[in-house]
Structure 1
Amino acid sequence: MTESAHGTAVPSALSWDPVVLWSKPESERAGTPLLVLFHGYMANEEDLMGLTDHLPSEFTVVSVRAPLAVGQGFSWFPLSREDDYSVERVVESVSAVSAWLDTVREAHSSVSILGFSQGMAVATSLLRHRPADFACVVGLSGFAVPSEGHSFFRDDDAAAAPARFFWGRDQEDQVITPEMIGFTHAWLTQNTRLTKILYPNMLHSINLQELSHVREFLTMTVLNPR
């Protein structure tokens, strides 16, 4: 563990050993495409595993627990409105995730990532750090973080070879601020091959229509690419 400027323990890329849930036993994972799930704020690794039944069965799905205990759940980094938020805290957490991914990716034919809410910030940050590493990215009711000029975010590289990105949300979602939505929309439009779909009456959640679109996106992008 290392300490932030505020003295709070944060995960080190060298020390973090995440709690994860797998959709397949280890004997059935080799050579399959991997889909990594990142849950939202104050949730845990169990929160998104119910999505697996709605996703292509060819994928091995792994859901990762965030490193910081918050309330009854976990957080990837402090919220931007909290005093101990900083881009460095985001970088610390996402660096740890990236290092862990390096320990599992070689067993799979490709790696795709999916994040909900704050988990979408993790997914977009991973893409911005290592833009060539992922077959595609799915972001649900979430956001991307401003880089504030941090070298961790290689946005020029992402724009040079834009990844396929699915972004689903409801315009009436009151959890993600308009400022963050505006930044996220601008970044995704400029730096990815974006598929954006709005879902009325979904609010800050995931619905079955969105899951059917995610399934189609994963199938067309990873399993049957053109």
Structure 2
Amino acid sequence: MPSSFRCTSHDHGHVPAARRRDSEAPLVVLLHGRGSTEREILDVAAHLPAGPEYAAVRAPIAEGGGYAWFANRGIGRPVAGSLRATMDWFRTWLDEAAPAERPVILVGFSGGAAFAGGLVLDDPTRYAGAAILYGTLPFDAGLATGPGRLANLPVFVAQGEDDNVIPRELLDRTWDYLLSESGATTLAQRQPGGHQLTAPVVRHLGDWIATGSPR
């Protein structure tokens, strides 16, 4: 099992408490889906490669017995002001938890994928890579998505062929953008199944983290 730690939130949406570690090893930040918690996605770290440090962060907005990264105006469509507020909140934590020279890889599932996408679109040079798992980039939420915005950024995108949670138009738009106009170095996979992580995707994610993501 890889070395890992959990970042947990205080009440009322405060920035999560983190154990700062002076290390040159990549920090992999796991971002859970809407209505979930950091405990669920942290389990994925047990199946990822040793070497990096793993952190699972709890989103700041209470929703459905769990937490969310932003208010939305429909599935996969963040409210721009809400997304901006939580991205700023996250960056406050990250800049304390990991010095700028330390590689940071984002791994987001579903709503966490949209949040990870927003973070890298907002500041592509801050991150060493991003995994967009079973989710969409946050299009039309006030972030730049022009040609070359993610130039040379390692990205892993995985989708379910029968995903009926995220609108197909957004999945397709994400797929097409990451594989062409974005300029990202993208590894893309569509797997049989719906809106859930599968063992093959987690295995490929681990390979990507181990061999291809940090730049």
Which of the five TM-score ranges fits, normalised by the shorter chain?
A: 0.7 to 0.9
Alpha-carbon contact 2:160-2:195 (below 8 Å) kept:
yes
Q: How many aligned residue pairs are there? A: 201
The one of 180, 184, 192 aligned to 1:200: 192
CA distance in 2, matches of 1:177, 1:208: 23
The answer to whether residue 176 in structure 2 is matched with residue 186 in structure 1 is yes
CA distance in 1, matches of 2:150, 2:160: 29
CA distance in 1, matches of 2:78, 2:125: 28
CA distance in 2, matches of 1:39, 1:144: 15
Aligned-pair identity (%)? 23
Return the offset for 1:216: 0.6
Alpha-carbon contact 2:69-2:83 (below 8 Å) kept:
yes
CA distance in 2, matches of 1:132, 1:68: 27
Return the offset for 1:222: 4.2
Alpha-carbon contact 2:20-2:98 (below 8 Å) kept:
no
Residue 212 of structure 1 is matched in structure 2 by 203
TM-score, length of structure 1 as denominator length? 0.80
Alpha-carbon contact 1:135-1:221 (below 8 Å) kept:
no
Return the offset for 1:172: 0.1
Deviations 1:23-76 (CA, angstroms, capped at 9, x unpaired) = xx756x622210001100100110111111111110100001011111210111
Q: Could you tell me which amino acid in structure 1 is paired with residue 185 of structure 2?
A: R
Q: Could you tell me which amino acid in structure 1 is paired with residue 114 of structure 2?
A: A
More divergent stretch after superposition (155-164 vs 137-146): 155-164
CA distance in 2, matches of 1:41, 1:222: 25
Q: 1:1-226 residue pairs with structure 2 within 5 A?
A: 17-19=14-16, 30-81=23-74, 86-106=79-99, 109-148=102-141, 150=142, 153-156=143-146, 159=149, 161-189=151-179, 190-191=181-182, 192-201=184-193, 203-222=194-213
Alpha-carbon contact 1:31-1:107 (below 8 Å) kept:
no
Return the offset for 1:156: 4.5
CA distance in 2, matches of 1:46, 1:197: 26
Structure 1: which 5+ runs fail to align? 1-14
Alpha-carbon contact 1:19-1:45 (below 8 Å) kept:
no
Alpha-carbon contact 1:121-1:143 (below 8 Å) kept:
yes
TM-score, length of structure 2 as denominator length? 0.83
Return the offset for 1:85: 5.6
User: Which of the pair has more CA radius of gyration?
Assistant: 1
Return the offset for 1:77: 1.1
Alpha-carbon contact 1:18-1:64 (below 8 Å) kept:
no
The verdict on how the C-alpha distance between 1:131 and 1:52 changes in structure 2, with shifts beyond 3 A counting, is same
Q: Could you tell me which amino acid in structure 2 is paired with residue 199 of structure 1?
A: Q
SS of 2:40's partner is: coil
The verdict on how the C-alpha distance between 1:43 and 1:16 changes in structure 2, with shifts beyond 3 A counting, is closer
Alpha-carbon contact 2:129-2:155 (below 8 Å) kept:
yes
Structure 2: which 5+ runs fail to align? 1-11
Alpha-carbon contact 2:32-2:111 (below 8 Å) kept:
yes
